[in-house]
Structure 1
Amino acid sequence: MSQTKQSRLKVYNTLTRHLDEFDPIHPGRVNMFVCGPTVYDVSHIGHGKSYVAYDIIARYLRKRGYSVFFVLNITDIDDKIINRAKETKEDPLKLSERYSQAFYKDMKDLHVDSVNLYAKASDYIPEIINQIKGLVDKGIAYKITGGVYFDISKFPEYGKLSRQNLEQLTVHRVDPDPEKQNPGDFVLWKSQKPGEIAWDSPWGKGRPGWHIEDTAITLTHFGPTYDLHGGGTELIFPHHEAEIAQAEGLTGKKPLAKYWAHTGLLSIKGQEMHKSLGNFVPIQDAIQKVGVEALRVLYASTHYRSPLDYTEDTLVQAASLARRFRRAYDQLQRMTGVKAESKASKELLKQKVDEARIEFFSTMDDDFNTPGALAAYIKIVGIAEEHGKSVSTESASMLLNVMKDLASVLGLLETESIPRQEFLQLVNLLTSLRNDLRAKHEYALSDRIREQMQKAGVTVEDEAQ
C-alpha cells in the first residue's frame, strides 16, 4: 500500500553524525551491504539482533518502493577459523562451510529473507589480490616479512568515520611489528605461517586480511560508491575505517558508502555474551524457547542503534505481544456473515486505522524507528480487538490487509506451522464440537477443548446458555 502524504525518510549517518535525508545515488535503487559473521561457531541472539534490524530496514525500503540489492558477507577466512580448525583437526574451509550452513538456517528460521546475496570471502581471492596490487602500485601499500600493509599516512582522511586522529588510532593497534612504517598500518595480505591455509599471490603464499575482504566484495558488485553500509557499532573502528581507506585510496572516489548505519549491541543482564560466562544463547535455542515472532518483536522493541538488554521479563513481554498480534488477526479471519455496519461507523473505523497506519510510516521514516512503529501497530491491533466481533466483512478485510501489510515490514504474522486455511477449518470444527458438547451439558470436555485452543493462541469466549 502506498502512504498518503508520505514524509521524507531520514537516516542517522555515522559518517556525518546527523539525521540525513535518504537520497540514493541512483533514484529508486538502493545498494546495501552489511558485514556478516565470522563463521567459526554457531550464531547467537546478539547476531540475530543486528541481522533482523537490517532485514527490517531492507523490507521497509522495498515497501517504500525502492529496488534493493542487499549483500551480506560471510567471513570464512580468519584467524579464529584457523585456530578453531586446529582444535577440531578440520580443514578450515570445511569448518567455515559447516558453520555457514548453520548461519543460513538461522537466517531462514528468523525470517531474514531480504538478503539477495550471501558473499563468502573465499570466493573473491582474485579480486582481493587485484585490489591489493592496485594499492601497492599506487604507493599506498607496501610489503614486509609479515605480508602487505596499508600505509595510513598516505590516506589523510583515515579516522573520519570514527572521528579519531592518527595518534588516537595508533593507541588501538594490537599487532605491533617493527617493520611497519607506521604503528597504525593494517594488514591487507598475511604471509603464510606453517600449516596455515594459503593462496598464491605476487607477494608469496598467504591469505587476505579481514578488512580487504569486504572491500573486494563491494567493489565487485557495487562499484566504487554505493548507498548503505551496515554493521555493529564495534566495527566502526578499525574495520569500517579500514574499508573506507582501502576503497577510496584505490579508486580515488568517495564516499565508499553514502550512509553508514550501526546497530547497538545485545547484553544479558548487563553483561556481554560469552560462553565462559554461561550466558551464550544460540539463535536456535531462543527460537525453540519462544518462537520466531517473539524474538522479532523483542528486537523491534528497541531502536536498532540502541543497545538491548536481554532478560526473561523482556522476552516474556515480547512473546505475549506476538501472541496478541496473532490472536487479533485470527479472530478477524474467522469472521463470516456479519451484518453490515452503518456508513458512519465504517468511515470512523477506517479513519482510526489510517491515522495509526500513517503514524507507522512516519516513525519508520524517522531513522527506522521500530519501537514507534510497534506502538502504531499495537493501536491497529487494539482497534481489531475492540471492533473484531461487530464489523462488517468489508471492514474486517480492510483491517486484515493493513495488519498483514505492516506486519510484513516487521517480519510478523509469517509463521505457519500448518496452512492458515486448514488451521481455520480445524478451529471452526473444534468450535462446532464444543457447541454440541455444551448443548448436551458436557461442560468438562468442552472446557478441556477450550483450554487447549487457548494454549494454541485461539481466543474462545462462551455465551451464557
Structure 2
Amino acid sequence: MRIHDTMSGRDIRLDHDKIGIYLCGVTTYDDTHIGHARTIIVFDVLRRYLEEMGRQVNLVQNFTDIDDKIIQRADAEGRDALELSHSYIERYHQDFDRLNVKRATSYPQATTHMQEIIDIISELVKSGHAYVVDSGVYYSVESFYEYGALSKKNIRELRSGIRIDPEQDKHDKVDFALWKRTDTKPNWDSPWGSGRPGWHIECSAMSLKHLGRTFDIHGGGRDLIFPHHENEIAQSRACTGLPLARVWMHVGMVTISGQKMSKSLGNIKTTRSILDRWGPNALRLFCLSGHYQKPIDYTQELLVESLDLWRRLESCHYILEQMADTHDTIVHDEFDAALSSNFNTHEAIKIMGDTVREVGEMASAGSLYTDNANILYGRIARMISIFGLHISRPENTEQIQHDIAQREKYRRSGKYKQADIIRERLHAKNIELLDYKDGTVWVYHEIMPHNIRH
C-alpha cells in the first residue's frame, strides 16, 4: 500500500507489519463539525483496511484539553476550564460512537503529559533551539535550518507577513511559544515559572511518548500543515535528530456550498446535527466520496446521493445474504487496488456501486444463483466492513418470513388486497419486499432520525 507524503510529494510504501499512526485530534471547547468528521472517518477506514490486510495498527489520537479557546469559553459560561473540556470529550465519544468510528488505541490528553512537555522544552533550551524570556519560552525558528520543508514556506516571507506581534519580547517574529507564563488557572509549575504549554509542543510530547521517535503516519486536516505540523517537525527533530514521521498524510477541507466554514458566516455544520438529520451511514459515505486529499463540498444533493447509495447497498446486502449459502468475506481485486493506491476511496466507492448495480440487474433477470451470490456476498460484506458501515437488523426475522409466506398464499389465490395489507404492514416497520422470479426477498432499512425515505 502507498500513501502520498506531503513532505516529499511522493507516494510512500507502507511495508511494516506494525503501523503507528498519530492523528491530531480536536481542541475540546465545542462540538466537532463536518470537517473534523471527514478527517476522522478517513483515518478510521484507513485503519480498518490496514487491519483487514493483517497489519497491527497503533492509532493514537490526542485531545487538546487545555487551550486559550477553552479558557475563554469556560470564562464566558462561568465554568471550570478542565470540566468544560472534558465534557466535550464525552460528547465527542458519543458522536463518533454513533458514527461507528472504532475507538483509537489511545486518546492522550495534553493535561496528563505535562512532565513530558517540560522535559522536551528543557532539552530544546539546553540545545539552543529555544530561549527563555519574561513571557515564557519560545522556539527559535532560525535555529532549525529545515523549517518550511513541509509547508514549503520561506522564513523571510513569513516575517514580512507578520505586521503586528503582541508577544514583544520574542527574539524573532516567527518564533512560537513552547511555554506561556501565567498566574491564571489552570496553570502548572515549571522551571520557567507557572504557566501553560503552547499548542504545538503538546503533540510532540504525546506522539513521542506513545509512538516513539519515528513512526509511520502523522495525519490531520490540510489546515494543520502550517503552522501546527511544521512546528511539530521543528521541535521534535531538534530534540531527537530523527524524522518524526515517515509519511505526512493530510485530508482536504470541507466547504459549505462552496464557502469555507466559519462562525462569522453562520455555516458551521456540527457532526451531531448531521447525524441527527442523515444518520451515520450516509454521512460516512459522503465523507469518503471524494479523494481524501481534495476538498469536498457539503451540499444537500451530495448527501442525497450518499443516502441513495446506502439504500441500494442495504438492498444488495439483504438480497445476497438470503440467496447465498456461505457468508465468508472475499477480496475484490479492483477495490483493493483502489485503496492501496494512495487510499482512493472515491474509486473504491464507484467499484462498490458498480457491484451493487450488477447484483440488482442479476436479481431482476433471474440470473442470481447460489454460486455467484456466495462470491458477490463475500465481496460486498467485506466492502461494507472496511468502510465501517452498519447494516441494521430487525427484531423478529421469523415473523417476517411467516408474513412473506402468508402474503405469497394470498397472491396465489388472487387475494391481492390482503397481500398488499401485509406488504404495507411490513413497510411501516421499514421492511421492503422485493419480488423476483425465484421468490421474494425482504430488506430491512436503517431507521432515519427524521424519517428520510427513498
Shift of 1:134: 1.0
Name the CA shift for 1:371/1:114 in 2 (closer, same or farther; >3 Å). farther
- State how far apart, in whole Å, the 2-side matches of 1:59 and 1:172 are: 42
Pick the aligned partner of 2:173 from 169, 179, 183: 183
Matched, 1:228 2:220: no
Shift of 1:153: 1.2
Matched, 1:358 2:347: no
Matched residue, 2:29: 40
Q: Is the 8 A contact 1:31 1:69 kept in 2?
A: yes
- State how far apart, in whole Å, the 2-side matches of 1:179 and 1:310 are: 43
Matched residue, 1:458: 432
Pick the aligned partner of 1:251 from 232, 240, 244: 240
Matched residue, 2:358: 383
Q: Per-residue displacement from partner, 1:288-336 (whole Å, max 9, x unpaired)?
A: 2222111111111111111111111111110010110110111122237
Matched residue, 1:402: 379
Name the CA shift for 1:19/1:452 in 2 (closer, same or farther; >3 Å). farther
Moved more, 55-64 or 95-104: 55-64
Residue 435 of structure 2: SS of its match in structure 1? coil
Unaligned 5+ segments in structure 1 are 1-8, 338-352
- State how far apart, in whole Å, the 2-side matches of 1:457 and 1:300 are: 27
Name the CA shift for 1:233/1:374 in 2 (closer, same or farther; >3 Å). same
Q: Is the 8 A contact 1:450 1:460 kept in 2?
A: no
Q: Per-residue displacement from partner, 1:73-106 (whole Å, max 9, x unpaired)?
A: 1110001100000011111110000000000111
Name the CA shift for 1:223/1:175 in 2 (closer, same or farther; >3 Å). farther
Q: Is the 8 A contact 2:216 2:246 kept in 1?
A: yes
Question: Counterparts of 1:11-410 in structure 2 under 5 Å?
Answer: 11-23=3-15, 27-113=16-102, 115-171=104-160, 173=162, 175-193=165-183, 195-253=184-242, 255-335=243-323, 357-388=332-363, 390-410=367-387
Q: Is the 8 A contact 1:13 1:260 kept in 2?
A: yes
Shift of 1:453: 4.3
- State how far apart, in whole Å, the 2-side matches of 1:445 and 1:118 are: 56
Shift of 1:442: 4.9
Unaligned 5+ segments in structure 2 are 440-454
Question: Which amino acid letter does the alignment assign opposite residue 182 of structure 1?
Answer: D
- State how far apart, in whole Å, the 2-side matches of 1:462 and 1:390 are: 10
- State how far apart, in whole Å, the 2-side matches of 1:178 and 1:274 are: 29
- State how far apart, in whole Å, the 2-side matches of 1:298 and 1:451 are: 31
Residue 94 of structure 2: SS of its match in structure 1? helix
Q: Normalization by structure 1: what TM-score?
A: 0.87
Q: Is the 8 A contact 1:292 1:415 kept in 2?
A: no
Shift of 1:180: 0.7
Moved more, 227-236 or 391-400: 391-400
Shift of 1:382: 2.5
Q: Is the 8 A contact 1:155 1:249 kept in 2?
A: yes
Name the CA shift for 1:22/1:95 in 2 (closer, same or farther; >3 Å). same
Matched residue, 2:451: none
Q: Is the 8 A contact 2:359 2:368 kept in 1?
A: no
- State how far apart, in whole Å, the 2-side matches of 1:257 and 1:139 are: 23
- State how far apart, in whole Å, the 2-side matches of 1:204 and 1:19 are: 45
Residue 74 of structure 1: SS of its match in structure 2? coil
Matched, 1:435 2:408: yes
Name the CA shift for 1:278/1:33 in 2 (closer, same or farther; >3 Å). same
Q: Per-residue displacement from partner, 1:139-186 (whole Å, max 9, x unpaired)?
A: 111111211100111111111100111112334557442211111000
- The count of corresponding residues between Structure 1 and Structure 2 is 432
- State how far apart, in whole Å, the 1-side matches of 2:288 and 2:45 are: 9
Residue 458 of structure 1: SS of its match in structure 2? strand
- State how far apart, in whole Å, the 2-side matches of 1:86 and 1:316 are: 40
Identity %: 37
- State how far apart, in whole Å, the 1-side matches of 2:87 and 2:393 are: 27
Q: Is the 8 A contact 2:324 2:373 kept in 1?
A: no
Q: Per-residue displacement from partner, 1:381-433 (whole Å, max 9, x unpaired)?
A: 22322334544434323322221112211112x24354xxx454343233223
Residue 434 of structure 2: SS of its match in structure 1? coil
Residue 113 of structure 2: SS of its match in structure 1? helix
Root-mean-square deviation (CA, aligned residues, Å) is 2.4
Q: Is the 8 A contact 2:255 2:298 kept in 1?
A: yes
Q: Is the 8 A contact 1:331 1:459 kept in 2?
A: no
Q: Is the 8 A contact 1:72 1:115 kept in 2?
A: yes
- State how far apart, in whole Å, the 2-side matches of 1:268 and 1:105 are: 24
Shift of 1:62: 1.5
Q: Normalization by structure 2: what TM-score?
A: 0.89
